[in-house]
Amino acid sequence: MGNLETTSLFLLVAILAPIFTGLVLLCGSRFSVNSMRALSVFGFGLPLVIGIMLYGLFDPSLAGEYNFELRLPTGLESIGIYLHLGLNGISMPLFLLAGMVGLAAGLYAMNSKAERLHLYLALLLFMLGGLMGTFASIDVFFFYFFHEFALIPTFLMIGIWGGAGRRVAAIEMTIYLTLGALLSLLGLIALYVQSGVDSFSLLELRNYLSAQALTETVQNNIFALLLFGFGILVSLFPFHSWAPKGYAVAPTGAAMLHAGVLKKFGLYGLLQIAAPLLPSGAEHWFSWIVWLALGNIILIGLVTMAQKDLKMMLGYSSVMHMGYAFLGIACFSVVGVGGALLMMVAHGLSVALLFMLSTCVYHRSQTFDLSSMGGLATKAPVLAGFFVAATMASIGLPGFGNFWGEFTIFVALAETDMTKWIVAPAAIGIVISAIYGLRAVSNIFFGQAKESFKERLESGQITDLQPFEKLPACILIGGLLLTGIFPRIISDDANRELAVLYPQEQSNLPIIESVILPAEADAPKEVTH
Amino acid sequence: MTPTQSLLVVIFAPLLSAVIIAFFCRQRHGLAAAISVTAAGAIFVFGLLAILATGTDVVHASSAWLHFGDFEVNKGFLFDDVAKTMLIMVAFVGFLIHIFSLGYMADDPARGRYFGGLSIFMFSMLGIVLADNLVMIFVFWELVGFSSYMLIGHYLNSDEAAAASKKAFIVNRIGDLGFLVGIVYAYWHFGTTNLSEMGGYVAGNPDLVKISIAALLMCGFIGKSAQFPLHVWLPDAMAGPTPVSALIHAATMVAAGVYFLIRIDFLFPQEVLTLIAWLGASVAVYAGFCAYGQNDIKKILAYSTLSQLGYMAAAFGLGFPGVALFHLITHAFFKALLFLSAGSVIHGCHHEQDIFKMGGLLKKMPITAITFLIGTLALCGVYGLSGFFSKDAILIAGGLSNTPIFYLLTLGAFMTAGYMGRLFWIAFLGQPKSEDASHAKESPLTMLVPLIVLAVLSVAGGWMGYWPDFLGGLIKDNLDHLHHMDHYDAMHKKVLIFGSAAWIVGLVVSFFFYGAGAKEDRLEKKAAPIYGFLRSRLWFDEVYNFYVEKIQQRFALLLNFIDVFVIKGIFVRGSAGIVGLVGMCSRSLHDGNLHTYVYWFLAGLILLWAVASGLL
Amino acid sequence: MTVGLNAFILLAGLLFAIGMFGVILRKNTLVIYMSLELMLNGVILALVAFSRYNGTMDGNLFVFFIITVAAAEVALGLAIIVALFRLRQSVMVDQLTSLSR
């Protein structure tokens, strides 16, 4: 198994490469811009390259186990903490997502005109390293540790490079997210203590708890901690207030990585840790999740419609779409959680793309106010094309991954009679999102320019998308199309894994007797001849 | 080459063309047009190859697309008789419209984008035609909606086009909402969404048909085929280029709704069928009335399309999907012809669309005018032309199974002849009534050839006897069934009389009422309230706009207010405020003065003493 | 003539009270400091008196401790006050309120 060990080391490299590159950049304020870029391309690109390579080497027969396992001592063995890395069918797509969004954000950031660029890139790289680590961790402690490691640079970046009102937003976001993280940490520690297995390894926790489940009360309480802790991190209604403003003022790179990837940490925690380990807790809180998620979809959806600022709108829309993922997890079935996973990946790509493109729009219009733009498509057709594609992806047009996510979640909801009614209110979201999405597109790009914008539009200063903007956009669009056209690249591995995590006693498919298939239907006629 | 391979070429040629155009030919307009037209030609050729190779056999081919637990989606072809008929129509009409676009869009600065959009549209439309399960139909259904959005909004600078494209997409989405929920419920009801498997289950056990699922699936049809109450988007969609209106908003996409119904007709219980029949018949009449209030040549045709879609829906609802398909095909020919002729007129008149500013075009543009007339007559159902056969069959079906619907449809036929007559007499006869019209010239050959071909088809398309065996099997079955129903002969005579009377009366009355080449609408002069009523189209748009602006948007703003002030302001900031307040209060105790601390110390001492001595 | 315990207690109480009011009312740190010493002395007196009255050595033992501690306190406290005066040119407590900020 020498091969296995080498590949496992790659996992470690994917985490450490961005962090070390970041450290080097941190020291090197005297680097020339070009050498800085070359260095950061390495740091941002390597994780994705490794991710793709590992995807190619992924062994699907190990469902229930982890691929590329690596276990290093940390000095905390006495309480069962190891640096235990590995990937399974659920974390693999998210690992790739982090690499992809990371590269796109990095490519965009290194060409931005941020002051103290080396510091900015270094912080982004730290964030990326943390993200890779989060999704590659089997050890629950490191899962949490890497998340915090990625979270702190976000606060710093908003505080230093944020837009107007950044201090208030950064403080609010910090307090809110720290609260969420603390609650979930409490939950994780409670899980560790209550299970009494003396190990933070998810595998051992899972094996132990599947043999002897915790009592119902304990499960309910721990699940509540995890649900609301993670829920705050994922902007579950009504704990979403940090998100729109936070994203609106965040510098683009940070917003891309946070909204695109880091936010998925909470969902990942719910579907990989909380729900499988605490099934009766999930059942107990089922109706809470459903109602709050519907709040996300419908109430926040309508709130999104009322936004006049492009970035606020995007922030709210990303809050809204999280509702679908929660609904998927609430189903507690392979289909539902699978849908949530697809949704997470596709949403991560599309929201990152939208945040990036909205900044591109801003560089041309000098405003985020939707009511004072218009007609940009004539001057920047490529930008318009990308923006329309990204909007279409986020409102769930088939051909992009988001559609499969939403669709699979709807299918999952209709599976049992208990959840069947939810499909209809949840599906209203597809109309709501079409309304605000197309309204924004139409206000920015189509029709006549508004008076205040006309002069700028005619001035000839407005250029179309530059190559450095195109490249990251192409990466993200490519990912969206790939998941939209070939959803099996995610679903096959995840399906095997989820079947282990969410075992189902019997199928809900109807058994239809007296079947006449077309081929058979013809047969009796021939007999009569 | 196996049929499946041919079909793969059919479906991927336009996609490839769209991708190439999007990446390499945005500035090379001529090349883009060439690629797109080639792709459209390839669709036709390979479609024909596939049909010839299979004859009357049905091709099934499918492979897994997505799989989670019990949920499985396949992508696949169901290439049966209905699909073949539809494919050949879509491919042929599509090809002609591509050629027409070469001439019509010759001066457009964004031809590349236009042809790319056409290719995307062909791709998605063919996907609907060939799909073998509901999910796949839905996927392409949405893509068709997207390409329609893109093409309606082709004229980027126009506020009208921007609003129309948005409206079309959103209204369609509302219909798709029901469609989506219907698919999802159908999946767990049947355990599959594969059309032939579901058909087999239903054939084996008719109790499996459920009203709720059928009604939900019907919503998709209502949105896409612009039936009441989601019909408002179609007239606005005329803001797009005219060939797009011909291809998407007359011949193919809007008919896809009807095609979809025909594909899943086994899922419909009698109640839903009756509902569809009534819906269709009332739209047929309603749209006929609306057309009298319009002066824009394209909008008149758009309402005519609505009305004809109503006929198809009525035929389907009466239990004759084959007849609906028949009318779908003939309608595609003559409506595409009408729209393209209108496009030729608009092109000739330098983008003048008001019929009261045209006039005298018969002399200026004879070929266009004659083809337009052929289309008009076919639409009106003149004996021997294609429209006659299909409309005749629908009327007979109505007369034999549902008399009120029969009279509604006959009224619709009369209305049709009336507004088409009005359009033709005013726009093509008399003298030119504007500068643009008097300089009108006949269009170039690339535009005329498609017109002529379509005119031939509008005449001959309904001669079922000459259709090859492997096409229109369902149509022939249904017609056959109709012919063998009781009282067929009596009804046939009755329909012949009523139908002929309708078009003769309609054309003649409109000629004498409006007059050849009239300068103004006489109805507007003589009976302004009636005209105003017709023009108002029953105030649907007003009601919807009121809802969107005054109710929905205000509700959204209210929720936003609640979100910002209650959740963010009171709960989040409020809890932060309470913590801050406690901090401020306790901080004010620490004023730094030594004596204050001493007093607190004393007070504490006294308190302690009081507790210790049992006073407290 | 022997003086009764009550007289000692009274005197000790008086000394303590004078000291306490001095601490509470005076503003000069030095005076407050002296008042504190006065309070200590009141306590010492009471302890000695009790010790004598009870015939045990416990109170006296305490007194030695207190005297030692008080001596150390004086040394330290005076040094602080001198340093404070050098820094601020004032030893009035109402001017020494930087803790509030």
Say which DSSP state B381 is in.
T
Q: Do C97 and B592 touch (CB under 8 A)?
A: yes
Interface contact B203-A521, CB threshold 8 A = yes
Rg of chain B on CA atoms, in Å: 31
Tell me, letter by letter, the H, E, C secondary structure of A212-260: CCCCHHHHHHHHHHHHHHHHHHCCCCCCCCHHHHHHHHCCHHHHHHHHH
| Residues with Cβ within 8 Å of residue B342, at least 6 apart in sequence | B242, B297, B298, B301, B372
Q: What is d(CA A12, CA A26) in angstroms, rounded to the nearest whole number?
A: 21
Q: Do B592 and C23 touch (CB under 8 A)?
A: no
Size of interface A-B (CB pairs under 8 A): 193
For the entire predicted model, the pTM comes to: 0.88
Residues of chain C in contact with residue B602, where contact means CB-CB under 8 angstroms, are: 24
| Per-residue pLDDT tens digits for A267-289 | 999 998 888 888 888 889 998 99
Q: Give tens-digit pLDDT for A80-118.
A: 888 888 898 899 999 999 999 999 999 998 888 878 888
Smallest CA–CA distance from B591 into chain C, residue? C100
A176-185, A215-224, A507-516, B170-179, range with the lowest pLDDT: A507-516
Exposed (0-12), middle (13-18) or buried (19+): which is B494, by Cβ within 10 Å? middle
pLDDT the model gives residue A514: 53
- pLDDT value at B181 more than 60: yes
Instruction: Tell me what pLDDT residue A516 has.
Output: 55
The span from the CA of C60 to the CA of B305, in Å, is: 116
Residues of B in contact with A172 (CB under 8 A): 572
Q: Quick one: what percent of chain A has pLDDT higher than 90? A: 44
Other C-beta atoms closer than 10 Å to the C-beta of A426 total 24
B78 φ, ψ (degrees, to nearest 5): -125, 100
User: Is the model's pLDDT at A523 over the cut of 60?
Assistant: no
Q: Environment class of residue A28 by beta-carbon count within 10 Å: exposed (0-12), middle (13-18) or buried (19+)?
A: middle
- The residues near A54 (Cβ < 8 Å, ≥ 6 apart) are A7, A10, A11, A67, A68, A87, A92, A95
Q: Does position C47 have pLDDT exceeding 50, yes or no? A: yes
Query: What is the least distance, in Å, from the CA of B177 to any CA of chain A?
Result: 6
How high is the pLDDT of residue A355?
93
To 10 degrees, the CA torsion angle through A281, A285, A286, A289? -130
Residues of B whose CB is below 8 A from C26:
none
pLDDT at residue A522 above 70? no
C3 vs B101, residue with greater confidence? B101
Which residues neighbour B181 within 8 Å (Cβ) at sequence distance 6 or greater? A410, A414, A423, A424, A427, B216
* Helix residue spans in chain C (DSSP H): 5-25, 29-54, 58-88
Q: Is-contact B437 B349, C-beta < 8 A?
A: yes
Position A473 scores a pLDDT of 93
Percent of chain B at pLDDT above 90?
A: 30
Q: Is residue C1 scored above 70 in pLDDT? A: no
Please check the confidence at residue B246 and state whether its pLDDT lies above 70: yes
Quote the mean pLDDT of chain B. 88
Nearest CB to B591; choose among C23, C32, C100 = C100
Structure confidence at residue A529 as a pLDDT band (50, 70, 90): very low
Q: Is B66 on the interface with A (CB under 8 A)?
A: yes
Q: Chain B residues within 8 A (CB-CB) of chain C?
A: 590-595, 598-599, 602
Amino acid at B59: V
Q: Which residue of C has its CA nearest to B599?
A: C24
The nearest CA of chain B is from the CA of A282 a distance in Å of 19
DSSP per-residue letters across B268-327: --HHHHHHHHHHHHHHHHHHHHHHHT--BHHHHHHHHHHHHHHHHHHHHHTT-HHHHHHH
Range in A124-128, A214-218, A432-436, B539-543 the model is least confident about: B539-543
Based on the number of CB atoms within 10 Å of its own CB, is C7 exposed (0-12), middle (13-18) or buried (19 or more)?
Answer: exposed
Nearest residue to A93 via CA among A41, A54, A151, A44: A54
| pLDDT score of A259 more than 50 | yes
Closest CB from C93, C99, C101 relative to B595: C93
Mean pLDDT of B317-322: 90
3-state secondary structure labels for all residues of A82-134: CEEEEECCCHHHHHHHHHHHHHHHHHHHHCCCCCCHHHHHHHHHHHHHHHHHH
Chain C environment of B590 (Cβ under 8 Å): 99-100
Q: Is A71 helix (H, G, I), strand (E, B) or coil?
A: strand
Read off the pLDDT band of A527 (50, 70, 90): very low
Q: Residue A242's closest chain B neighbor by CA?
A: B568
Contact C94 B593 (CB under 8 A): yes
Q: What are phi and psi of A488, to 5 degrees?
A: -65, -20
CB of B545 within 8 Å of a chain A CB? The answer is no
Q: For chain A, what is the mean pLDDT? A: 87
Closest chain B residue to A432 measured between Cα atoms? B170
Q: Is B208's CB within 8 Å of A512's CB?
A: yes
Whether the CB of B121 is below 8 Å from some CB of chain A: the reply is no
Selecting from C24, C98, C101 the residue whose C-beta is nearest the C-beta of B598 gives: C24
Residues 6+ apart with CB under 8 A from A380: A364, A462, A463, A464, A465
* For helices A91-110 and A2-27, angle between their N-to-C axes, nearest 10 degrees: 30
Distance, in angstroms, between A513 CA and closest chain B CA?
A: 8
Question: How much is the average pLDDT of B408-418?
Answer: 89
pLDDT interval class at A475 (50, 70, 90) = very high
Are B and C touching by the rule of 3+ CB pairs within 8 Å?
A: yes
Decide: A372 and A362 in contact? Cβ < 8 Å. Answer: no
Chains that touch A (3 or more CB pairs under 8 A): B
Which residues in chain B are contacts of A446 at CB distance < 8 A?
Answer: 153, 156, 159, 161-162, 165
Do B592 and C99 count as a contact with CB atoms less than 8 A apart?
Answer: yes
A301-351 per-position pLDDT tens digit: 999 998 889 999 999 999 999 999 999 999 888 999 999 999 999 999 999
3-state secondary structure of A52: helix
What are the residues facing A87 on neighbouring strands? A67
Which sign, positive or negative, has the C-alpha torsion B560, B565, B567, B568?
A: positive
Nearest to A301 by CA among A451, A115, A430, A432: A432
Interface residue B12 vs chain A (CB under 8 A): no
The average pLDDT across C3-10 equals 88
CB contact under 8 A, A445 and B156: yes
Residue ranges in B131-250 assigned as alpha helix (H): 134-152, 159-190, 195-204, 211-224, 233-236, 242-246
Q: Which residue of A has its CA nearest to B71?
A: A335
Are B112 and B28 in contact by the 8 Å Cβ rule? The answer is: yes
How deeply is A167 buried, as exposed, middle or buried, from its count of CB atoms within 10 A (0-12, 13-18, 19+)?
exposed
Question: Interface pTM (ipTM) of the complex?
Answer: 0.91
pLDDT at A3 over 90: no
Residues of A in contact with B135 (CB under 8 A): 407
Tokens of A228: 């609301």
Q: CB B165 to CB A306 under 8 A?
A: no
Query: In a 3-state reduction of DSSP, which class is residue A447?
Result: coil
**C28's tokens:** 């000069």
With CB atoms and an 8 Å threshold, state whether B205 touches A392.
no
Beta-carbon separation of C98 and B590 below 8 A: no
Report the alpha-carbon distance of residue A105 to residue A288 in Å, rounded.
35
CB–CB contact A518 B556 (8 Å):
no
Which candidate from B592, B598, B599 shows the least CB-CB separation from C98?
Answer: B592
Residues 6+ apart with CB under 8 A from B128: B137, B140, B141, B144, B256, B259, B260
CB B70 within 8 A of CB A337: no
Average pLDDT over residues A410-425: 89
Q: At what angle do helices A140-161 and A202-211 cross, to 10 degrees?
A: 130
In chain C the domains, ranked by start, together with CATH numbers, are 5-92 (1.10.287.3510)
Q: How distant is the Cα of C1 from the closest Cα of chain B, in angstroms?
A: 37
Q: By the CB < 8 Å criterion, does B65 face chain A?
A: yes
Q: Do B592 and C32 touch (CB under 8 A)?
A: no
Percent of chain C residues topping a pLDDT of 90: 54
Instruction: Detail the DSSP E strand segments found in B58-97.
Output: 59-68, 71-79
**Is A448 within 8 Å of B170 when comparing Cβ atoms?**
no
Q: State both tokens at A111.
A: 């060409």
Evaluate if residue B45 carries a pLDDT over 70: yes
Reported as type and span, the H/E element at residue A67 is strand A67-72
Provide the residue type at B39 as one letter. A
Q: Are B560 and A303 in contact (CB under 8 A)?
A: yes
Pairwise CB contact (< 8 Å): B184 & A411: yes
